[in-house]
Amino acid sequence: MKLSSTFQRRITDVYGPDGSVWLRRLPALLRVAEERWEIRLQEPFSLSYNYVAPALREDGGRAVLKAGFPSRETRNEIAALRHFDGHGSARLIDADPERGLLLLERIEPGTALVALHDDDAATAIAAAVMRALSRPPDGAYPFPTVAGWAARFTAAPTDARGPLPSRLVAAAEAHFQELLASSGEAVVLHGDLHHENVLDAGGGAWVSIDPKGVIGERAYEAGALLRNPLPGIVSWPDLPRILRRRVDRLSEEMGIDRARIIGWGVAQAVLSAFWSYEDHGRGWEPAIAVAASLEALT
């Protein structure tokens, strides 16, 4: 099995020596999946942090196999897919949480929202997916919370934040504090709903993939869309105008005050930069650039 050096580096950056062991075991894991679900794997898609490949089922049906490092994040994703149950999301056919294996329905044609050049239309589509996903937790699974994500960031010592601008870190902390204290109804959120994670399901339908699974208010969901697609968005001409239009459209489509959408956008962009620095020591600059543009809208 030939795996790109970029994919391997991402895995070892995040999971260290355990990630190296997982990479060595990956071929055997894929054989287990093929035998368990009677599928035949094809060439993988472009890989980021999981091994994802189209699969042909014994009955001729088409599916997708996703193999990820068996972690809390993988279990969260499985639980979120079960919770959404196809409402605004790809359906989970089956899963093996202990091995980090997911068998998913194949979304076709599967074109990602990032390919849509009309940004206003793309924002409206993403908002519709957000509305479809919005379902209260049923208590069946202990999802992480937005408050928990924020606490880990705000409790981090100054040196752990590395080169992140102190002005924007302080702004993010303030937004987290204010927005969490005044949050509305808690629902299970996708948690990473951006342009690469919304796919064309045909017939005018669009669905999400790769949920993080986190509990928070609906307004939080808009944050990932505002800062993406990264890193390219930072080179777009007149970025403040584009972000302002996105905020206005999301506010209109979701019935949420634009100040909350901007606040969550800033807080999340800085949090995303923090995670990039924490995991890789690099790649934090684009999210910070978006945070600065969003903060200027307040």
pLDDT digits (tens, 9 = 90+) for 104-155: 999 999 999 999 999 999 999 999 999 999 999 999 999 999 999 999 999 9
Alpha helices in 134-257 (DSSP H): 146-154, 166-181, 222-226, 239-254
Which residue type does 296 have?
A
pLDDT at 200: 98
Q: Give the whole-angstrom CA distance, residue 189 versus residue 143.
A: 10
Burial of 285 (0-12, 13-18, 19+ CB in 10 A): middle
| Most distant pair of Cα atoms in the chain: their distance | 57
Chain mean pLDDT for the chain:
96
Give 160-201 pLDDT, tens digit per residue.
999 999 999 999 999 999 999 999 999 999 999 999 999 999
Domains of the chain and CATH, by start? 5-105 (3.30.200.20), 113-295 (3.90.1200.10)
Give the H/E segment covering residue 56: strand 51-57
Length of the chain: 298
pLDDT at 176: 98
pLDDT at 72: 96
Q: Give the whole-angstrom CA distance, residue 288 versus residue 268.
A: 10
pLDDT at 1: 81
Share of the chain above pLDDT 70, in %: 100
Q: Which two tokens stand for residue 125?
A: 């589509």
pLDDT at 250: 98
Q: Give the whole-angstrom CA distance, residue 139 versus residue 127.
A: 25
Confidence of residue 279 (pLDDT cuts 50, 70, 90): confident
Which residue type does 284 have?
W
Give 66-113 pLDDT, tens digit per residue.
999 999 999 999 999 999 999 999 999 999 999 999 999 999 999 999
- Of 110, 23, 98, 80, residue with least CA distance to 213: 80
CB 113 within 8 A of CB 126: yes
Range 241-254 average pLDDT: 97
Range 207-234 average pLDDT: 97
CB 185 within 8 A of CB 219: no
pLDDT at 233: 94
Output the pTM of the full model. 0.94
Residue 31 has pLDDT above 90, yes or no: yes
Hey, CA dihedral for 253, 255, 260, 264, is it positive or negative? negative
Beta pairing class for 205-208 and 51-57: unpaired
Confidence of residue 235 (pLDDT cuts 50, 70, 90): very high
Half-sphere exposure of 90 (CA within 13 A, CB side): 27
Q: Give the whole-angstrom CA distance, residue 78 versus residue 64.
A: 14
- Of 186, 102, 197, residue with least CA distance to 145: 186
User: In a 3-state reduction of DSSP, which class is residue 64?
Assistant: strand
pLDDT at 298: 83
Question: What residues are annotated to the active site?
Answer: 192
